[in-house]
Amino acid sequence: YGNATATQANADVVTAYNHYKALPTSGSAYVIGSTTPVATIPVAFSGHRFEAGVFNIAGATTAAGEIQLDGQGDANAEFIFQLGAAFAPSGATFITLLNGARSRNVYFVATGAVAIGAGAQLKGTVFAGTTMGLATLTSHEGRLFSGSTMTLATGASITAS
């Protein structure tokens, strides 16, 4: 990687990725507008409201709409999404933080590649097991880590959180 600092930074990212992938599942998810928890989170998981917890979604995952994260008054509430393969949110995807939820406490941990669609508005830390790409006019508030290469299209923006 070129020097000791870069080597340590890479090791720290790998440690964080492995930590978040190993956490046991917890937390509740609801279809937006419902008070009944869902038993299984679908691979197309937009349209859901999540309370703090760790959510495991097997297989390739997509999103194409609103994802609500409800901190329930706790500014330290964490939302961890363990994604079993690739993650491909479309341009219609956006995250709404509710009741104290903060982007710095949101984690998407994909085993495979991450491809964020044109115009998507994501928040949180995203770990890609392999490659990552942000399409044109993608807006991201948080941090991005890729297991190999990362591609940013013209007009993609990243704001640290």
pLDDT tens for each residue of 6-58: 889 889 999 999 999 999 999 999 999 999 999 889 999 899 999 999 999 98
pLDDT tens for each residue of 46-88: 999 999 999 999 889 999 999 999 999 999 999 999 999 999 9
pLDDT tens for each residue of 97-126: 999 999 999 999 999 999 999 999 999 999
pLDDT tens for each residue of 131-151: 999 999 999 999 999 988 899
Give the chain as a DSSP string.
--SHHHHHHHHHHHHHHHHHHHSPP---EEETT--SBPSS--SB-TTEEEESEEEEE-SSEEE-SEEEEE-TT-TT--EEEEESS-EEE-TT-EEEEETT--GGGEEEEESS-EEEPTT-EEEEEEEESS-EEE-TT-EEEEEEEESS-EEE-TT-EEE--
